[in-house]
Amino acid sequence: MALTRGRLSNVTTVAAGSTSAVVTVANNKKVYVKSISIHDGSALGHTGSGAGVACTAQVYVVPNGGAVGDQTRMYNISMTARETVLIEPSYPIVLEDTGDTLQVGVAAGGTINVLVNGDKEV
C-alpha cells in the first residue's frame, strides 16, 4: 500500500453557526488524519453572552450517509481570540469508505481556519 504524506486539505475557513467537510474519502482510498490545526481568526473577544467569550470549534468524523451530531462529534474545543489549537491523536483517525468525511464546525463565537495533515492511499 503506497501512501502520500502531508497536507490533506487546504486551509478551510468556517464561520460561526456552520460546518464544513474538510477531508472526504474518494474511491475507497483510506485517509489517515494525523493532526488538525484550528485557529480562531477573531481579532477581539467575541460578542454574545459577554466580551471575550470563547469560540467553540467542533470536529466530527462522519461515515458515508451519516450526519453531524452528538454521535459523530470527536472534539469540542473552546478557544480564545487568536488562539491556535493542535489536535494530534495518539493513533491516526482513519477514514476508509468513499464519502466518509472529517468535518469541522463552529458552534459559537467567530470564524476559524482549519488545516489537516496526514497520509492517504494512492
Q: Report whether pLDDT(85) > 80.
A: yes
- CATH number of domain containing 34: 2.60.120
Instruction: Give percent helix, percent strand, percent coil of the chain, each to the nearest 5.
Output: 0, 55, 45
Q: Report whether pLDDT(27) > 90.
A: yes
Q: Report whether pLDDT(34) > 70.
A: yes
pTM: 0.89
* Residue from 96, 117, 18, 109 nearest 56 by CA: 109
- Total domains present in the chain: 1
| Domain hosting residue 103, numbered range | 3-121
Kindly report, residue by residue over 39-83, the tens digit of the pLDDT.
Answer: 998 765 555 544 555 789 999 999 999 999 999 999 999 998 889
